[in-house]
Each structure stands twice: as C-alpha cells, then as structure tokens.
Amino acid sequence: MNPPVAQQQVPVAPRFEDHVLEFLSYLEFEARCAENTLIAYRTDLMQFGCFLSSTGNDVLTVEKPQIVDYLESLAATGEIAGTTLHRKLSSLRSFYVYLRREGLVDTDPTADVKAPAQAKKLPAVLSRSEVSHLIDQVRGSDPIATRDRALLELMYASGLRVSEVIGLEVSDIDFEEGVLRARGKGKKERIVPVGRQALLSIRIYLRAGRRALTKDRPEKYLFVNFRGGQLTRQGLYKIVRKYAALAGFADRMSPHTLRHTFATHLLNGGCDLRSVQEMLGHADVSTTQTYTHLSTERLKDVYFDAHPRAVLHELR
C-alpha cells in the first residue's frame, strides 16, 4: 500500500489541476453549487492529485485498484472520519462523471468502489469519581452556578442529547414521579427517570437561579442563558467545556461524553440493554450495543484485578 496521503507533499500535475479547475467552473456556473461545496470539492480533488503524482498515475488512465489504494491510504492515517471518507469518494465519482461527459475518459474507475470500513471508536466515558470531580468544579450559589450544576447533574442523570436538553421545558420535569419527558429525533417523546440528586439541583436552580436570570419574565424552557432566554446549543457546549477544562478533562470530553457515561454506568450497574435503549431513545438496539463493549472492558478489568488466578504466574 502507498504511504498515507496526508503525509505527502508532492505537487499535483499541471494537467490534473487544469481538469479540476474546469470541473469547478462547471460546478459553479452550470450546477450553481455553493461556495462551501466548491471548496470541499477542490480540497478533496487536490488531495487525490497529490496521491496520483506520488504514485506516478495519471488522472485519465488511473484504474479501480489505484482508487482503492488511495482510499485505503486515507483510512490508514486514522485521522479521517468515515463520513469524510465517503464524501471524498463522492467527490471523485462526481469528477469522473464530468470527465466521462466531456469525453476525456471511457470508463469510470470509481464505479463499484466502496469506501473502506472504518473501525468503530468506542466513545470516551468518565468514571464515577471523575463525574463527581467534574460537577465539583461548579462552585458558589449564584444563578449561573445553580444553573450549571443542575445542567451537569441532569445530563449525567438522564443521558439526554444536547438538543433534548436545551429543548426541555419546565413542565417536562415531574418531581413527584421522578421522571422527565424528552423530545427526541423525529419529535418522538419518551419518559426518562431522573435521580434524586439531579432533581434536587433542578429544584434549587428553579427556586433561586432561574428566577434571577429570567427576572420573572415568562420563559417555558428549563435552561436559560444569562439574559433569561433559551440556552442555545453553543451555550451548552461552552458550559460543559468550561468545567471539563477545570476538571482536567478538556482533551477527552464533550457534552456527548455525559450521555456515553450515563449508558455505560447503567450497564455496569446491571441495567438491561433494552431499558438503556429506551432511555437513550435509540430506534435500533444495535446502536445501544456499542456500550456493551465498554461495559465488557470494565468487567475484564475488574476480573483481572480481583481474581487470584487470573494472571499467569511463572511455574516454580
């Protein structure tokens, strides 16, 4: 296999660049593509041009095996997401459709080519002590602090998606039953249990912090910003990233990490897969099964730490 394309600094052949410029002109003036689309096409194709130059191949004579080699070299870097890899293949396909239409190639080398399967990365999760350490970074009892503590407690207690958290309304919290109503993908509603600690934090936030932030103006959404309006996705990200940095988790945590942690801790605690699927709002249980791998790894760690004959000792 050829070396990863990302590491190559080989300039593209002039003829290749001419073909790309003509293709981009077609996209801009005839297909009326947006500027961001044009930039993406150019980036993808120039990267392919570097690969062609480094391997001595020509854009008009390259064949399917070289296309496969190119895609595999991208995947081998481990730095490109599966969706990006599919986009790059799509860019190549569109390019060769154009070249065939112009009569520059007889066959399409991208036909029947599939993007290499990407190894699924297990999501990062926090330990129980790390979750406590994260929430402990929220200090004070001012309105912002009470909001942030309630937000982190709720995200860990319920495993909601970011969009579901910011879409929560005050009326969605049922303190008597200890549950909330979440609005998931496709506007599907589900009921999710909420732990006592999260409910207590929300009560404190509603009683003191939220009223101060809204200045008693009517606002249906549970979490609000410093102006009293609905908290945005960007605002939530900033809050989580702030406390992740304070806790020392900035390089391995995002808001979604709390959702992963919620699911993994439930499975580690003995909760069944179907119940976790229901709470997460997954349409397919195979999506939830990602967390069983994390749970299994934890079980293996516990086993090898605890079992007296789990580790092979040298025979005497």
Which residues are annotated as catalytic? 161, 185, 256, 259, 282, 291
- Separation of alpha carbons 229 and 215, rounded Å: 11
Q: In this structure, what are the phi and psi dihedrals at residue 42, rounded to the nearest 5 degrees?
A: -65, -45
- Separation of alpha carbons 78 and 82, rounded Å: 10
Do 297 and 312 touch, CB atoms closer than 8 A? no
- Separation of alpha carbons 293 and 272, rounded Å: 14
- Nearest Cα neighbor of 255 from 133, 177, 151, 129 is 151
- Separation of alpha carbons 265 and 274, rounded Å: 15
Do 174 and 191 touch, CB atoms closer than 8 A? no
